[in-house]
Structure 1
Amino acid sequence: MKKNFFILVLGLVFAMLACTKKEIEVLNSSQKVSVESLDNYVVFGYVGLGWGCRSSVIYMVSNNKIYADTSKTFCNDQENYTFTGYQLPESEYNKVKDIVSAFPAELAKEESKTFGCPGCADGGMLYLQYKKKGVSLKTWRIDDAVFYRDSDVLNNPFPTYLAKYGQSLGKVITSLKY
């Protein structure tokens, strides 16, 4: 019994040593945020829809910071989803800052809507929310084919600005570490 306890304690010590100081700070971060307290932000993430909703991580960028929502609550009530997450390190923000500044003005002018066929052929979607002070919240659901081609799974073309932005955003999403 003492031997098993010693091995368990030793394993925990090694696991803690394997984390860098920054990783421990992020995991234990009390700096959480909810969109309800913000005027300007962009929320984005990949959500798998085929064979049931599978949200992985949804990100939010606001005030030169990036946050991650790993709660998987998006699938519980997609229509009333509200981002709540924790802050990621500045190194992760540096990966998305160009994507945020390149947010297509044409898309910002669009009303909330769906582009393509999210969930068709067991695919997923790019989920986007955009909030600017004084302007109503806008939400778009975009076929995940936007990450790698110019048309959705039914071969309906995306607007040119959206295809370009989606492909850039797809690369960034896969590079983020939460």
Structure 2
Amino acid sequence: MKRIVVILAIVGVLFSCNDNDLNEININEQNYLVFGHFYGMCGGEDCVETFKLTNTTLFEDIIDDYSGVDMDFIELEKDKYEQTKDLINYFPNKLLNQKETTFGCPDCADGGGLFIQYSENGNIKSWRIDQDKNNVPEYLHKFMDKVNEKIALLKE
């Protein structure tokens, strides 16, 4: 477990040297990243997908609540964790300092939205982000792409 934290820290440092928006956040059981997407005018299992990433495990929410309030996570296979473990490297530090919790108008035009939640030492922050990049700050674009990429990989 210590080895994974060290590896994540090293990767974070390497990425932060190349881009000031990338971070050095360590995730663990108390520090975690929840990410997902939601589509209101949609039918089927893929309309709401939410995952929780720690430094050793990936979980999937089995409730699929559009509001993101009611979540119940189950552990996924290790290979799915391996596919997503680098997502934290793309989390923009700037987001942690924003007063806004909604960017754009998520799912207003039936284009869907992203749900992001970050917990640091029990301090939980959540955001809803419009999928239309024209409606959100540019510093979120790379992270949005990675979140969507990871969700697509997990649903294959």
Q: TM-score, normalised by structure 1?
A: 0.63
Answer whether contact 1:65 1:87 (CA < 8 A) is retained: yes
**2:137 is the counterpart of 1:137:** no
Asked whether the equivalents of residues 90 and 146 of structure 2 are also in contact (C-alpha less than 8 Å), the reply is no
Change in CA separation of 1:106 and 1:88 when aligned onto 2, cut-off 3 Å:
same
Pairing partner for 1:169 from 139, 147, 150: 147
Q: Tell me, which stretches of 5 or more residues in structure 2 are unaligned?
A: 1-28
Compute the displacement of 1:109 (Å).
Answer: 2.0
Instruction: Verify the 8 A CA contact 2:58 2:81 in the aligned structure 1.
Output: yes
Write the letter of the residue equivalent to 1:68: E
1:96 aligns with 84
Partners of 1:114 and 1:172 in 2: CA distance: 21
Counterparts in 2 of 1:96 and 1:111: CA distance versus 1, 3 Å: farther
Task: Give 2:134's aligned amino acid.
Answer: S
* 1:83 alignment partner, SS class: coil
Q: CA RMSD in A?
A: 2.3
Identity %, equivalent residues:
33
1:86 alignment partner, SS class: strand
Counterparts in 2 of 1:10-159, with a 5 A limit?
38-50=29-41, 55-72=47-64, 74-75=65-66, 78=67, 81-111=69-99, 113-133=101-121, 136-145=123-132, 150-152=133-135, 158-159=136-137
| 1:129-149 deviation digits (Å, cap 9, x = unpaired) | 011005x3111001122xxxx
CA distance in 2, matches of 1:129, 1:171: 17
Aligned residues: 126
Letter of the 1:46 partner, please give it. H
Residue aligned with 2:134, SS? coil
Q: Which amino acid aligns with 1:58?
A: T
Instruction: Look up the equivalent residue of 1:170 and give its one-letter code.
Output: N
With over 3 angstroms needed to count, the CA separation of the structure-2 counterparts of 1:128 and 1:140, relative to structure 1, is same
State the Cα deviation string for residues 18-52 of structure 1 (Å, max 9, x = none).
Answer: xxxxxxxxxxxxxxxxxxxx521111111102379
Query: Contact 1:47–1:124 (CA<8 Å) still a contact in 2?
Result: yes
Unaligned runs of 5+ in 1: 1-37, 153-157
C-alpha distance 51-92 of structure 1, shift in aligned 2 (>3 A): closer
How far residue 111 of structure 1 moved from its aligned partner, in angstroms, is 3.3
Q: 1:58, 1:49 → 2: CA distance?
A: 14
* 1:55, distance to aligned residue in structure 2 (A): 4.4
